[in-house]
Amino acid sequence: MANITAAMVKELREMTGAGMMDCKQALNESGGDIEAAVDWLRKKGLSKAAKKSDRVAAEGLVGVAVRDGNGVVVEVNSETDFVARNEEFQALVKTIALVAVEKGVGDVEELKKQHYPGDAGTVAAAISNAIATIGENMTLRRAATLSVPHGVIGHYVHSAVSEGVGKIGVIVALESTGDKDQLAELGRKIAMHVAAANPLALDASGVDPATLEREKNVLREKNAGKPPHVLDKIVESGLKTYFKEVTLVEQPYIHDNAKTVAQAVAEAAKAVGAPVALKGFVRYVLGEGVEKQEADFAAEVAAAASGQG
């Protein structure tokens, strides 16, 4: 039998909102596989779909920079939140984002090699200098770029500590030959939507096949025993609902729930003066997917889990 730790139970509980003992049973049933345990809970009706971004947190900042038809999001991690409030660290993240957008570099290793303004030399050297000065380890964890030949890159930073840096960073690509000011306003609103609604993909074609297969399996398991032709219709209907929840173009627009994001973009073409195409987005949440040591609460979980083991 797999060794089910208190930290595993806590992680699953935070991911799913299910009860502690249900989480422990799910982990036992799935041999300690977290993803399989999530599915087990969902099949039992004990959990809603979990979002990977809810699992963990790390310290540092996300930076966003936009120039002409180019945009970038970067994440720089630190050991403590105290460093994220440091003006020198904030300036470092902003400048790295500016270097990335100027050079059009979305690859971390390539970005580290780029020239950093001033006497630091490269981006990697600037990070090393900041580590020596501030006294805390830092890493350039990831970066992503978007560009359009004609149009704008909309952007938004949530929980900003200063201009262009915060806890969540979003860029959105809008392709159009229409009015740039109108496009920029639309892009900002859609970026705010992305920050709030957390779509998994632009449209159905962009949903990861493995994720889609998991969703189909959950629907099949929840409706096991029904005739095949009925089950197929249930799965088809369930996927349509799923796509409305997780794809950007089909989500209800947060600024007007009476329409989808796709409808809002189509309607905006009148104000912009030309057709508008939503080409892509990037959403970074600080620390998503980063394992972090557990300290508080673990003992409580362990006591509760072992008490009914």
Span of 49-63, 100-114, 202-216 with lowest mean pLDDT = 49-63
CATH code that applies to domain 1-56+291-309:
1.10.8.10
Residue that wins the pLDDT comparison between 52 and 297: 297
Q: Could you say which architecture CATH assigns to the domain 59-201+254-285?
A: 2-Layer Sandwich (3.30)
Q: What is the pLDDT of residue 262?
A: 97
Q: CA dist 3 to 6, 24, 31, 56, 309, Å?
A: 10, 11, 8, 21, 12
Mean pLDDT computed over every residue of the chain = 88
Q: What is the pLDDT of residue 80?
A: 84
Mean pLDDT of 284-290: 87
Sequence-ordered list of residues with C-beta below 8 angstroms from that of 29, at least 6 positions apart, any chain: 37, 40
The tokens 């090393």 sit on which residue? 128
110-159 residue pLDDT tens: 999 999 998 778 999 999 999 888 888 899 999 999 999 999 999 999 99
211-254 residue pLDDT tens: 999 999 999 998 988 888 888 899 999 999 999 999 999 999 99
Q: What is the pLDDT of residue 162?
A: 93
Q: What is the pLDDT of residue 57?
A: 34
Q: What is the pLDDT of residue 291?
A: 56
Residue 237's nearest CA partner among 248, 249, 222 is 222
Question: What values do phi and psi take at 116, rounded to 5?
Answer: -105, 130
Confidence check: pLDDT of 280 > 70: yes
Q: Tell me the domain boundaries of the chain.
A: 1-56+291-309, 59-201+254-285
Q: What is the pLDDT of residue 204?
A: 96
